[in-house]
Structure formats: C-alpha cells, structure tokens
C-alpha cells in the first residue's frame, strides 16, 4: 500500500494509505482528544472532539474519519479548536444530569477527564435537567441515561465485536437515547448475551456493573483490545 506524507502540527508524518488522520497522529505521538472513538470498533465522527483544521480550509474535519492524503496540512491544537472542544464538553454536561459526586465512574470517567484536560470548570449553558430513566432490570448491569453522552460506543461494540446488536439509538437529535432491543427493559432483552462489552466500552458511568458505588466503576478497555486482537489477528496477547 502506498505511503502518504502529511504535516501534523508542523511535523512531517508518514502514514499508510487508508489510515485516518487520528491514527497517523496517534502513531506519531500527537494527542488529539476523542470521546466516541474506541480502539477496535469503527469510527463515525459523532462527538466532534477530534475536529482538526485542514490547510486553508475554513471547514473543520473530524480526524477519526478523515483519511490521510499526500501533502495534507493538519493542525490539531489551535485556539479555535480548543474553544470549540471546550464548548462541546460544556454542551454535553448541560444536556443530561452529569453529577460526578454521586457517579459510579467518578475519577475514572472519560468525560470528566476531558473536562479537566480542557479546563472546563463551569458550563456557560443552562443545564436542561431532563428526567431520564435508570434501567437496572439486567441481572448484572445497569444503564443510567442521565450519564449517557450518546457516543454510540456500546452500539458499535455490541454489533461489531459481540455481534448481538442489542443496543441501538432511538429517536433523533437531543431526544435520542440508547435502547436495548425494542426499547424494552434490558433484563427482558432476548438478544443480549450479558457479555459486558458495552460496560467496558462506555466512556462514562452510563453503563455500569451492578453493586458498584461512587467511583468504584473502573472500566478495563484492555479486555476489549484483547478480544479484537484475537479476532482480527489470531493473536492472544494480554
């Protein structure tokens, strides 16, 4: 496969044709913030955290789905991008009820880490305080829609890695929500194999293991990587 040379933040980087800008940046040790990206499953550019500037184009592009091209000039960390990323996190925080102090993932949450990384100490937007459901009908796991950021990682990991496709997204826009089967209680789901991949994939405390209290829900992403590597490369590492 052809090698493409591009510039990321002034550094010359070479990448294989077909790779994304995010992959090229990660291999070169350049950090681009992400929320909906999960190693081992497909990318869809849902969260817009990885937006980057391209040459002289005024249009921002999501690095996770942007394929590398010869001579591409990418900037990943301008004032404008930092401003937008901060805004995205503030919007996410105001959209649902993200109360870290009572959350099972407090201290181990990707949304919380992102807020810290970007210096989000308050939200300039009014909190919506929606009334959201908590479903603890599953024997081992629970889903708290208050903490969901609609990244769709559970949907993709269930479809692409486990193959059950129990999860999907219902509704549209700000009224979207993740569902199990026919928007029925998770415990009544007939397709769920209770494998727990969605729990590990979820960036926040939205999908959690029952019995965990504040700050106790630590996700182990390496379990997913282990399975994906085994499946794709027939190598059992870890």
What phi, psi does 87 have (nearest 5°)?
-65, -40
Pairing label, strands 134-135, 73-75: unpaired
Our CB check for other proteins shows the closer of 104 and 155 to be: 155
Q: Which is nearer to other proteins, 59 or 175 (CB)?
A: 175
- Which of 9, 113, 135, 159 is the binder for other proteins (CB under 8 A)? 159
Scanning 40-48, 61-69, 160-168, 208-216 for contacts with other proteins by CB under 8 A, the matching segment is: 160-168
Residue 133 tokens read as: 């459901």
CB of 182 to other proteins, least distance (A): 5
Site for other proteins in 98-157 (CB under 8 A): none
**Stretch 3-42: interaction string toward other proteins, x if CB under 8 A:** ----------------------------------------
If the CB atoms of residues 13 and 179 are measured against other proteins, the closer one turns out to be 179
- Considering just the CA atoms, what is the radius of gyration of the chain in Å? 19
Neighbours of 26 (CB within 10 A): 17
The three-class DSSP label of residue 174 is helix
CB of 194 to other proteins, least distance (A): 16
The residue within the footprint of other proteins, chosen from 42, 190, 194, 235 (CB under 8 A), is 190
The smaller minimum CB distance to other proteins, of residues 14 and 176, is found at: 176
Judged by CB under 8 A, the residue of 169, 212, 214, 228 near other proteins is 169
Among residues 135 and 168, whose Cβ is nearest to other proteins? 168
Q: 112 or 166: whose CB is closer to other proteins?
A: 166
Q: Tell me, rounded to whole angstroms, the distance of Cα 120 from its chain centroid.
A: 18
CB of 143 to other proteins, least distance (A): 13
Contact yes or no for 114/49 (Cβ under 8 A): yes
Q: Tell me, what DSSP letter sits at residue 127?
A: P
Q: Is position 186 an interface residue for other proteins (rule: CB under 8 A)?
A: no
Applying CB under 8 A, the span of 39-47, 89-97, 180-188, 206-214 interacting with other proteins comes to 180-188
Q: Which residues lie near other proteins (CB under 8 A)? A: 159, 164-172, 179-184, 188, 190-191
């Amino acid at each position: 496969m052809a090698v493409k040379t591009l510039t990321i933040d002034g550094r010359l980087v070479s990448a294989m044709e077909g790779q994304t800008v995010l992959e090229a940046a990660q291999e070169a040790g350049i950090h681009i913030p992400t929320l909906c990206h999960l190693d081992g499953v497909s990318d869809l550019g849902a969260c817009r955290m990885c937006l980057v500037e391209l040459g002289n184009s005024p249009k921002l592009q999501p690095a996770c789905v942007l394929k590398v091209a010869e001579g591409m000039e990418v900037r990943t960390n301008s004032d404008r991008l930092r401003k937008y990323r901060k805004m995205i996190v503030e919007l996410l925080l105001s959209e649902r009820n993200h109360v870290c102090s009572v959350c099972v993932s407090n201290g181990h949450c990707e949304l919380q880490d992102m807020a810290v990384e970007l210096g989000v100490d308050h939200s300039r937007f009014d909190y919506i305080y929606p009334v959201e459901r908590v479903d603890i009908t599953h024997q081992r796991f629970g889903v708290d829609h208050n903490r969901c950021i609609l990244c769709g990682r559970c949907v993709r990991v269930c479809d692409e890695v486990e193959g059950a496709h129990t999860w999907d997204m219902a509704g549209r826009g700000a009224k979207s929500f993740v569902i199990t089967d026919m928007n029925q209680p998770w415990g009544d789901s007939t397709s769920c194999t209770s494998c727990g991949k969605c729990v590990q994939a979820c960036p926040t405390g939205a999908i959690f293991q029952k019995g965990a209290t504040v700050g106790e829900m630590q996700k182990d992403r390496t379990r997913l990587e282990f399975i994906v590597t085994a499946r794709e490369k027939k190598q059992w590492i870890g």
